[in-house]
């Protein structure tokens, strides 16, 4: 598809969006040739759009010459009232979990076929960065969101593909579905070395009283960490955040509607 001229004559905005959409598959970084292949833009056009996005802050250029999503895109995404509120409600429970487990912890919400990291605390083993988009099939928070989410999402994730990130990653649809059933039975996901070697993730879902699962809290454990002890701690942190979410939902439901302006 490199050099495809299917977008010839399109607006500048559509070409910029095509470059950004190239990162929608969850890639942490892409080379210019990858962006050309994924966007369908000609090389000179893609280079021009990439340079514009780097100048604006939407993309960042790494030392190896590849490009990754820039901080400005994260700031725009974080402007969402829903995501801001989830992050605000989750912070105290992440702090408590960090104090109990002395490990890295993070909060994630569903973002298409990925888990978007909203907050992170600690210096845990291979802790994902804020704004990172994690694969649902191979991470703790991702699997917690997937297990308790819309069943159609599981089909979509399977259809999209289950890439092997380590030699332990579950890449068969049947294996993933069995794993999700175990998560639903236990109320917590335990994912061992499927995302990165040496990393075990323990995660539990956070529920809204009417909207179902809205987030997941996860602990990132290195080799030798006490996984059984963290199971209860993660479950409790997610349950307590769920109580905070329910209280906020009740507060918003009771809030008076804003007065209509005359005229």
Using left for φ > 0, alpha for ψ between -120 and 50, and beta otherwise, residue 166 falls in beta
Same topology between domain 12-75 and domain 79-253: no
Return per-residue pLDDT of the chain as tens, 263 residues: 444 444 444 678 888 888 988 886 556 688 999 999 999 999 999 999 999 998 888 888 888 889 987 766 766 655 555 778 888 999 999 999 998 866 789 999 988 888 988 899 987 556 677 878 899 999 999 999 999 999 999 999 999 899 999 999 999 999 999 999 999 999 999 999 999 999 999 999 999 998 899 999 999 988 877 788 899 999 999 999 999 999 988 887 775 544 444 43
pLDDT at 140: 96
Cβ distance 97 to 120 under 8 Å? no
Give the Cα separation of 217 and 85 in Å (integer).
15
User: Where do the structural domains in the chain lie, given as residue ranges?
Assistant: 12-75, 79-253
pLDDT at 45: 93
pLDDT at 127: 66
Of 179, 187, 180, the closest CA to residue 203 belongs to 187
Question: What is the CATH architecture assignment of 79-253?
Answer: 2-Layer Sandwich (3.30)
Class of domain 12-75: mainly alpha
Cβ distance 248 to 214 under 8 Å? no
pLDDT at 126: 63
Termini Cα distance of the chain: 55
Q: Which residues neighbour 241 within 8 Å (Cβ) at sequence distance 6 or greater? A: 89, 90, 93, 206, 215, 217
- For the beta carbon of residue 32, count every other beta carbon within 10 angstroms: 15
Give the Cα separation of 232 and 204 in Å (integer).
10
- Which helix (DSSP H) or strand (DSSP E) does residue 237 occupy? helix 227-254
- Which helix (DSSP H) or strand (DSSP E) does residue 100 occupy? helix 81-101
Structure tokens at 232: 């209860």
């Amino acid at each position: 598809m490199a050099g495809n001229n299917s977008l010839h004559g399109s607006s500048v905005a559509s070409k910029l969006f095509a470059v950004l959409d190239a990162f929608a598959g969850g890639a942490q970084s892409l080379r210019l040739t990858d962006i050309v292949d994924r966007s369908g833009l000609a090389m000179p056009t893609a280079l021009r759009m990439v340079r514009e996005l780097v100048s604006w802050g939407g993309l960042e250029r790494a030392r190896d010459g590849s490009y990754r999503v820039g901080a400005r895109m994260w700031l725009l995404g974080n402007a969402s009232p829903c995501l801001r509120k989830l992050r605000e409600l989750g912070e105290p429970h992440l702090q408590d979990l960090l104090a109990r487990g002395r490990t890295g912890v993070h909060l994630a919400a569903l973002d298409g076929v990925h888990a978007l990291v909203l907050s992170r605390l600690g210096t845990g083993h291979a802790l994902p960065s804020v704004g990172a988009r994690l694969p649902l099939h191979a991470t703790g928070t991702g699997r917690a969101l997937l297990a308790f989410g819309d069943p159609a999402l599981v089909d979509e994730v399977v259809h999209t593909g289950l890439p092997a990130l380590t030699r332990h990653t579950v890449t068969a649809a049947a294996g993933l579905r069995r794993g999700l059933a175990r998560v639903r039975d236990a109320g917590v996901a335990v994912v061992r070395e499927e995302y990165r070697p040496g990393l075990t993730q323990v995660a539990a879902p956070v529920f809204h009283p009417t909207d179902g699962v809205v987030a997941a809290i996860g602990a990132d454990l290195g080799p030798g960490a006490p996984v059984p002890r963290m199971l209860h701690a993660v479950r409790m942190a997610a349950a307590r955040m769920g109580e905070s979410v329910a209280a906020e939902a009740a507060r918003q439901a009771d809030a008076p509607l804003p007065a209509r302006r005359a005229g």
